[in-house]
Amino acid sequence: MILTKAQYEEIAQFLVAVPPTRQSLRKLKQRFPSQSQSTLLSIFSQEYQKHIKRTHAKHHTVEAIETYYQRYLSGVVKDGTAPVLLELANEVDYAPSLMARIILERFLQDQEESPPSKSVINSMLRDPSQIPDGVLANQVYQCIVNDCCYGPLVGCIKHAIGHEHEVLLRDLLLERNLSFLDEDQLRAKGYDKTPDFILEVPVI
């Protein structure tokens, strides 16, 4: 089914008023029942990523980070099991996984003398059980599983889909008896750019 420009813009306009959560995807499907789930998810992701790029800087000022961190601390003091971080992210219209990263980095700065490395942060986001504070670990976990556009869970899904399509493309090339080089072969030959496949003989 081909989506018209007007249909795309209608969906994009609807997305302005909803937060980037799985609950919002259900609302989107209810509002546009004739569109497939994958189409709606793709538009949802594209539009939200545009929004995040436009507003990223304001969430990373020293003042904003400190405000978010103090709000997180006061929130978990009242109820450590409540989705404090997730609700904060939705309130300020920022991706839950990215909010979790901000708070985790700020927390680790208090725990360590030197700023935490990116690899340590990424490792803790992939496996929140590594976070040395049980309440924060739970808060980070809630953000990750409720984020449709960012975070390690979404990254794994995208990687799996990319690998699946690569396998399907390889099967199609083999079925058509087309000669090609894959990424590993291209790297071995010293190519600096390595798409999934390059045809050895151009075809029309």
- The answer to whether residue 194 sits within a structural domain is yes
57-61, 121-125, 177-181, range with the lowest pLDDT: 177-181
pLDDT greater than 80 at residue 17: no
Same domain, 90 and 109: yes
Domain of residue 115 covers 60-150
Same domain, 96 and 119: yes
Q: What is the pLDDT of residue 122?
A: 93
Helix, strand, or coil (residue 16): coil
17-31, 33-47, 124-138, 164-178, range with the lowest pLDDT: 17-31
Same domain, 106 and 119: yes
Are 100 and 144 spatial neighbours (Cβ–Cβ below 8 Å)? yes
- The number of distinct structural domains making up the chain is 3
Same domain, 138 and 79: yes
Q: How confident is the model at residue 194 (pLDDT cuts 50, 70, 90)?
A: confident
Same domain, 28 and 106: no
- The answer to whether residue 71 sits within a structural domain is yes
Same domain, 66 and 51: no
Same domain, 137 and 73: yes
Are 135 and 103 spatial neighbours (Cβ–Cβ below 8 Å)? no
Same domain, 67 and 112: yes
- The answer to whether residue 33 sits within a structural domain is yes
pLDDT greater than 80 at residue 160: yes
- The answer to whether residue 184 sits within a structural domain is yes
pLDDT greater than 70 at residue 67: yes
Same domain, 126 and 158: no
pLDDT averaged over every residue in the chain: 87
**Secondary structure E strands in 5-156:** none
- The answer to whether residue 204 sits within a structural domain is no
pLDDT in tens, 133-142: 999 999 999 9
Q: What is the pLDDT of residue 129?
A: 94
Query: Quick one: average pLDDT of 14-24?
Result: 72
The rounded percent of the chain whose pLDDT value lies above 90 is: 37
Q: How far is 149 from 167, CA to CA, in rounded Å?
A: 24
Same domain, 65 and 142: yes
pLDDT greater than 70 at residue 19: no
Same domain, 136 and 66: yes
Domain boundary among 56, 79, 94: 56
Q: How confident is the model at residue 187 (pLDDT cuts 50, 70, 90)?
A: confident
Same domain, 157 and 146: no
3-state helix, strand, coil in the chain (%, to 5): 70, 5, 30
Q: How far is 99 from 90, CA to CA, in rounded Å?
A: 10
Written as one letter, the residue type at 104 is L
Q: What is the pLDDT of residue 99?
A: 96
